[in-house]
Amino acid sequence: MESLKGAAVSAAIKAQVEEMLAGFEGPAPKLAIVRVGERPDDLSYERGAVKKMESFGLRVQSYVFPEDIGDAAFKEAFSAINDDEEVAGILLLRPLPKQICEKDIETMIHPEKDLDGISPVNIAKVFAGDKTGFAPCTAEAVVEVLKAYDIPITGKRVSIVGRSMVVGRPLSMLLLGENATVTICHTRTADLKGTCRHAEILVAAAGRAKMLDAEYVGKDAVVIDVGINVDENGKLCGDVDFASIEETAAMATPVPGGVGAVTTAVLAKHLVQAALRSRG
């Protein structure tokens, strides 16, 4: 089984970003990372995003708020970041604490600065096939991996395990745009194993550690593991039992070192696109 490493894909996206920035005058585009509280997964993603932005020659600033900040106070602070002309793009780490109305923030964020596809405007564009809308970075990263490794998408049977608005649903739209035949699976899918085994490309985005093993994977399938979990030994793992599919799958993304590395590269690409669009 070939391991689809994210580092090579990230490097290719970096080359695209450098080409896009050729002739860009003034300070490099600036990303605002907005975090409330100290959730370990938020901190991990933030560290990765900061490292990626800096390696791409882009500016990044974290705006950190206490876990118990009130709804009104957070909205006032977020509005100031949102309206800051120096900020080309925003990454809001979610979920937000319960006292903050997340739906209101999704509506507030300027669509042109919404790099991770949370604005209703961008979501609508993704579902309409309008490529001017930013898709969620993880969903787009899956497509980037497939294309980087020259894996055919057109006409292929794809099963996505997971129907969230972060990955499953927007990814289905992106893959339909590439002329794949897409099935979205979830906890109530009848014969989940059979549906997954029928897929030529299987995307695991369920959020459950090692949920999918060889019984879910068809012979010579391509497996894209979006999950980031912690196993019983405290180690990072995906939604796929990687070791169990080695004799079945043709290719698979590892965790860590797979889609996650590409997600932050897509974030950087979105940031530069947003900056260039703001300049007309």
| pLDDT tens, residue by residue, 55-80 | 999 999 999 999 999 999 999 999 99
- Evaluate if residue 40 carries a pLDDT over 90: no
pLDDT: is 246 or 279 the higher one?
A: 246
Give me the chain's average pLDDT, please: 96
Q: Ramachandran region of residue 171, left (φ > 0), alpha (ψ -120 to 50) or beta? A: alpha
Angle between helices 168-177 and 120-128 (to 10 degrees): 40
**pLDDT of 134:** 98
